[in-house]
Amino acid sequence: MVNLDREDSFVIKEVKDGILYFDGCNTLELAKQYGTPLYVLSETDIVSRFAALRTSFLEKWPGSRAAYACKAFCTPAMLALTAREGMCIDVVSGGELYTAISSRFPPERIEFNGNNKLPSELELAIQYGIGRIIIDSPQELALIEKICAARKKRVKVLYRVTPGVQADTHDYIITGKKDSKFGLPMDDDIIFPSIEAAIHSPYVDFLGVHFHVGSQLFEVRPYLEAVDTVLDLMKQTRERFGCDMTELNLGGGFGVTYTDEVRQPFDYFLAPVMEKIAAFCQREGFERPALVVEPGRSIVAEAGINLYTIGSIKDIPGVRKYLSVDGGMTDNIRHALYQAVYTGVIANKADAPAEEAVTVCGKCCESGDILMRDAKLPKAEPGDILAMFSTGAYGFSMASNYNSSPIPAVVLVKEGQSDLIVRRQSYEDLISNAIIPQRLK
Ligand SMILES: *Cc1c(COP(=O)(O)O)cnc(C)c1O
């Protein structure tokens, strides 16, 4: 066995007799049994990430919580696993909320984010009795109050703020800067009336504030800068209203390895943040608030691989060589959307030298339908199985039916065992909601 993972990673990708194994499963057999394209998620890897969070953060700081941001990969099996591991979840839509509730996820461990929560979504959330609503706009409190009044309910709330820090990542996934559709700006005449209204509301318990500075981050600096601004807000909230915040939510964004990025352990981010908060609280005479984190990508990205069958191969002399696979931007839009870079291997030639630079494209009618640009792979032939790595986050959850492509199946693997957790869409599924009006029949 040759281990393809980095030293700091869990051993889930191995090569035996030239074949890629993933969490103990022969990937060629997975491709044969379940078909391609195929999403494969390693339970061992996901559980190890939760365990790392537990030992490096949750157990060190009693009262803290981790809410898996399920938009990264949201299926009932994943939510059942997250519940079993004792974690909370962060949902951002009625659909995710429904998925969680139908998967018997404990409602009090659900937190609801989103910049434009619909009245119907808030109704569901309040009716289910979820743990937290993270208010994102000046109008949202009144909406929540109206629903709580009608249903005689109370709900715990935080405000999401934009701390105005610049994170070093792709522009589309920066979220903590001031010019953002997310959160409330920290201008005094916006944030303080909002906080005051929540403190005095008979329908909500105001706990504190939330921020999320961006995604795929490798530096603690933006987190520390954001924490500084919210600690200042905490102090001013006490001075103005005599109210102490009891909870701070740091969001997610912890970076992962797609190619050669060096992933930081959770405590690289969380230890300095906690120390800063603890020092502030001691200095200013506050009880230490509960810290909540919302990791998404860092829980599932590296736990996933995608398997494809290679079809047509076009070598354009002096230009580039295109390998076409049976999936594409419909199952992984991240390269098309923000030039995300991936690595992979040919699963049936996993120990062959990577001697060619090729561009792996999908079968959609878009020139931008690229999965990997200038990837280094061994010489490929039609019928070979391509495995792309670190595809567990924002792949399946961003999948679309463009070109009427059925969304691939998802398989959960663990130490050589595999279970189908999402069936492949059929052609019938593609038209199951469509209607031909009588006059066209
Ligand atoms: C997307 C998001 C997360 C998760 O971000 P990752 O980069 O996947 O860890 C957490 N919190 C909020 C509010 C988000 O929007």
How far is ligand 1, taken at its centre, from the CA of residue 67, in Å? 10
Q: Which pLDDT value is given to residue 180?
A: 85
Residue from 74, 88, 281, 365 carrying the catalytic annotation: 365
Q: Which atom of ligand 1 is nearest to the CA of 294?
A: 10
How far is ligand 1, taken at its centre, from the CA of residue 115, in Å? 13
> For the chain, what percent of residues have pLDDT higher than 70?
96
Q: Which atom of ligand 1 is nearest to the CA of 254?
A: 9
CA dihedral 68, 73, 76, 80 (to 10 degrees): -30
Rounded to whole angstroms, what are the CA distances from 96 to 90, 124, 216, 299?
9, 11, 22, 17
Rounded Cα gap, residues 297 and 287, in angstroms: 31
Rounded Cα gap, residues 5 and 354, in angstroms: 16
Question: What residue owns the CA closest to ligand 1's atom 10?
Answer: 252
Q: Within 6 Å (CB) of ligand 1, which residues are found?
A: 69, 71-72, 90, 113, 212, 215, 251-254, 294-298
Q: Which atom of ligand 1 is nearest to the CA of 301?
A: 8
Rounded Cα gap, residues 151 and 38, in angstroms: 44
pLDDT of 355-393, one tens digit each?
999 999 999 999 999 999 999 999 999 999 999 999 999
Contact 306, 40 (CB under 8 A): yes
Question: What residue owns the CA closest to ligand 1's atom 7?
Answer: 253
The answer, yes or no, to whether the previous bond of 193 is cis (omega within 30 of 0) is no
**Taken in order 362, 363, 367, 369, is the CA torsion positive or negative?**
negative
Q: Which atom of ligand 1 is nearest to the CA of 251?
A: 11
Q: Which pLDDT value is given to residue 171?
A: 61
pLDDT of 112-168, one tens digit each?
999 999 999 999 999 999 999 999 999 999 999 999 999 999 999 999 999 988 776
Q: Which atom of ligand 1 is nearest to the CA of 214?
A: 7
Rounded to whole angstroms, what are the CA distances from 120 to 93, 158, 331, 429?
10, 20, 29, 26
Ligand 1 pocket mutation pick from 117, 213, 215 by most atoms within 8 angstroms of CB: 215
Q: What is the pTM of this model?
A: 0.95
The tokens describing 206, both together, are 């105001």
Ligand 1 pocket mutation pick from 177, 219, 264, 294 by most atoms within 8 angstroms of CB: 294
Q: Is 173 a residue whose pLDDT tops 80?
A: no
The tokens describing 376, both together, are 């280094």
Annotated catalytic, 243?
no
Question: What residue owns the CA closest to ligand 1's atom 12?
Answer: 251
How far is ligand 1, taken at its centre, from the CA of residue 185, in Å? 19
How far is ligand 1, taken at its centre, from the CA of residue 241, in Å? 30
* Closest to 175 measured CA to CA, from 229, 215, 225: 215
How far is ligand 1, taken at its centre, from the CA of residue 294, in Å? 6
Rounded Cα gap, residues 160 and 186, in angstroms: 10
pLDDT of 74-99, one tens digit each?
999 999 999 999 999 999 999 999 99
- Quote the radius of gyration of the chain (alpha carbons, Å): 23
Q: Which pLDDT value is given to residue 176?
A: 64
Task: Taking residues 22-27, report their average pLDDT.
Answer: 97
